[in-house]
Amino acid sequence: MRKYFITGALVLVPLAITAWVLNFVISTLDQSLVLVPSEWQPRTYIPGLGAIITLAIVFLTGVLTNNLVGKWFVRMWERLLQRIPVVNSVYGSVKQVSDTLFSSSGNAFRKAVLIPYPHENSYTIAFLTGVPGGDVKNHLVGEYVSVYVPTTPNPTSGFFLMMEKSRVVELDMSVDAALKYIVSMGVVAPPPPLDAAAGAHAPATAE
């Protein structure tokens, strides 16, 4: 009996979680209907209509701004926002992050790494994001790297740390495989590297 229960759970739990996530995303996107004039809104609620409208707006915005006229309009709009106090700092910070995450040439997570966290005798998977910059690097003695430590099972929240390069170990693991490992709470382990069977040496430190 226990065997059948576990088998059923293994089938239904992923489906239930997937349905919950999709429902959350669609419900959130449906809020865009609030922006539509009341006389244009459907008399009866149609699930997913707001999500479709949101996706259409995003796609249409991309089409319109992917030409000379659209790019000029975006530049003028950004210049206007940069002249507004408070708004300029918030918009600038958010735009830098979004450009890094969504740009086709962006590289938000460069490498999956292994770091000691939250203490010396415990380790976790993190992602290499760059090196400390600005005035921060002037106060760090030695060579440091910037890493992002995601939480489990929701990797969209986490912690930003600056660690000594010598304490960060690069993993022979893709970013996608590392994310799956984190989201599954360690259940879905990535396959071993190809040279593991040949007794390859330990991974090199982060570059």
Query: Which tens digits make up the pLDDT trace of 54-79?
Result: 778 778 877 777 777 777 887 887 78
pLDDT digits (tens, 9 = 90+) for 103-147: 554 456 778 999 999 888 899 999 998 888 888 988 999 999 999
Cβ neighbour number for residue 41 with a 10 Å cutoff: 14
As a whole number of angstroms, the distance between CA 206 and CA 151 comes to: 21
**Torsion over CA: 12, 14, 20, 25 (sign):** negative
Q: Tell me what the mean pLDDT of segment 40-65 comes to.
A: 73
Contact by Cβ (8 Å): 131, 112: no
pLDDT at 37 over 90: no
Within its chain, how far is the Cα of 3 from the centroid?
Answer: 36
